[in-house]
Amino acid sequence: MPLNRTSPEMIATAERRAYVLAQRKGGYTYAQIARMAIEKFKENKLPAGWDERYAYKDVQRELQRLREETKEEAADLVQLEIERLDAALKAVAPKVQQGHLGAIDRWIRLSESRRKLLGLDAPERQKIDGALVMRVIYDSEVKPLDHRDETETD
């Protein structure tokens, strides 16, 4: 049976992982973090054999959790912004249908924002045009690679 998110074990794991990640952000090595965590949480409150390998795993798991949380939050924010843009488009629609030029311009800007947010537009192609300018500096002391000094012998 999986542990409840609020079980004492899960809370202790979350606290340990947050602590370990904070120490890693502080620049400590995994060996240093393991010693500090053992000192802070005491060996009897850590999983059996907890050491720098576990510190590494805790950091990786906490970073993964944060990535997933951030992805979910970003998706929520995108959805919220889409709803806001849809509401604005709906509000402007009657004036657009009447041919009001200002409303049409607003509609276009709102539509562009929505397309950018959703990634619907193909990327703009950039054409780079112009001459390549090279500056050559000649040093009289440097000899060309294919030139042999007369004093050299074969």
Residue 59 has pLDDT above 90, yes or no: yes
The token duo for 112 is 């562009």
* Model confidence pLDDT, tens digit, residues 75-119: 888 899 999 999 999 999 999 999 999 999 999 999 999 999 888
Residue 135 falls inside a structural domain: no
Residue 149 falls inside a structural domain: no
Q: CB–CB of 98/56 below 8 Å?
A: no
Question: Taking Cα atoms as reference points, which of 129, 124, 127, 97 lies closest to residue 112?
Answer: 124
How long a stretch of residues is the chain? 154
Segments forming the whole domain that contains residue 58: 8-118
Residue 75 falls inside a structural domain: yes
Q: CA torsion angle for 7, 8, 10, 15 (degrees, to 10)?
A: 140
Alpha-carbon distance values, 150 to 7, 105, 141, 143 (Å): 86, 77, 15, 12
The token duo for 154 is 């074969």
pLDDT of res. 62: 94
Residue 148 falls inside a structural domain: no
pTM: 0.52
Mean predicted lDDT score pLDDT of the chain: 85
Residue 127 falls inside a structural domain: no
Higher pLDDT, 16 or 146: 16
Residue 1 has pLDDT above 50, yes or no: no
Q: How far apart are CA 104 and CA 109, in angstroms?
A: 9
pLDDT band at 31 (very low <50, low <70, confident <90, very high): very high
Residue 71 falls inside a structural domain: yes
Alpha-carbon distance values, 13 to 6, 19, 47, 51, 57 (Å): 11, 10, 9, 14, 12
Residue 32 has pLDDT above 90, yes or no: yes
Residue 49 falls inside a structural domain: yes
How many structural domains are present in the chain?
A: 1
Residue 151 has pLDDT above 60, yes or no: no
pLDDT of res. 140: 58
